[in-house]
Amino acid sequence: MTPAAEVLRGDVLDVAPRLLGAHLTHAGVTVRLTEVEAYAGGDDPGSHAFRGRTPRTEVMFGRAGRLYVYFTYGMHFCANVVTGTEGSASAVLLRAGEVVGGHERAAERRPGVRERDLARGPARLARTLALGREQNGLDLLDDDGDGVLALGEPVDPALVRTGPRVGVSGPGGDGTAFPWRFWVDGEPTVSAYRAAVPRRRPTSDRG
């Protein structure tokens, strides 16, 4: 087992901050990750896998180091790195990063966008790296594959910040019960935080 594979097989709350500073390369562009979110499968109401295995989430139940790519809001793709042991369905959402290689190609995919915004947000990151439905299940630990994840040196723990996940509610409705978003302090590429909007049940006019 490679060192990267061993790291990714760990608990998702340990793996997520370890991915900060890692380099992900695909389709001629390399992004240094600056913001991620952890999702803990069946133990996490915010996870796509909370209710069990489905055709959509099958990849999450597989081997660590593969990409779980999903389509959201009818227009965007988002990418996650599968973690933990097979069957656990935990994964880390790649929320934001800094383009450190392939700048011209990144700019072609997102013309007119400022450098810091090329991969600032999960949908932007996926588009900049050309990650879509075809990359679902891609093995990032295969050096001869189409995508490669290089962990490198960990980010200084003093620079790692944590807080509620973006747009994900939980007990109490505000997401604070799951402070599983991790980011590098002071990084301009970190996305803007948006709190979850609690869903209100319709009120009856019968009083």
Is the whole-model pTM more than 0.85?
yes
**Residue 205 belongs to some domain of the structure:** no
**Residue 58 belongs to some domain of the structure:** yes
Q: Quick one: CA torsion of 200, 201, 206, 207, rounded to 10 degrees?
A: -50
Q: What is the pLDDT of residues 45-92, one digit of tens each?
A: 889 999 899 999 999 999 999 999 999 877 899 999 999 999 999 999
**Residue 193 belongs to some domain of the structure:** no
Q: What is the pLDDT of residues 108-140, one digit of tens each?
A: 999 999 999 999 999 999 999 999 999 999 999
- Measuring CA to CA, which residue among 154, 138, 134, 156 is closest to residue 146? 138
Number of domains in the chain: 1
Q: What is the pLDDT of residues 162-204, one digit of tens each?
A: 999 987 866 555 567 789 999 999 999 999 887 765 544 443 3
**Residue 97 belongs to some domain of the structure:** yes
**Residue 14 belongs to some domain of the structure:** yes
**Residue 9 belongs to some domain of the structure:** yes
Cα-based distances in Å from 41 to 10, 59, 87, 88, 121: 14, 12, 9, 6, 22
At position 33, the amino acid (one-letter code) is L
User: What is residue 169's predicted lDDT score, i.e. its pLDDT?
Assistant: 65
Q: Residues 61, 155: contact at Cβ < 8 Å?
A: no
Give the integer Cα–Cα distance in Å for 58 and 181.
Answer: 23
Domain range spanning residue 137? 3-162+178-184
Q: Quick one: CA torsion of 7, 8, 12, 16, rounded to 10 degrees?
A: 80
pLDDT band for position 146 (50/70/90)? confident
- 150 pLDDT above the threshold of 80: yes
**Residue 201 belongs to some domain of the structure:** no
Q: Residues 21, 155: contact at Cβ < 8 Å?
A: yes
Q: Kindly report the CATH number assigned to the domain that includes residue 98.
A: 3.10.300.10
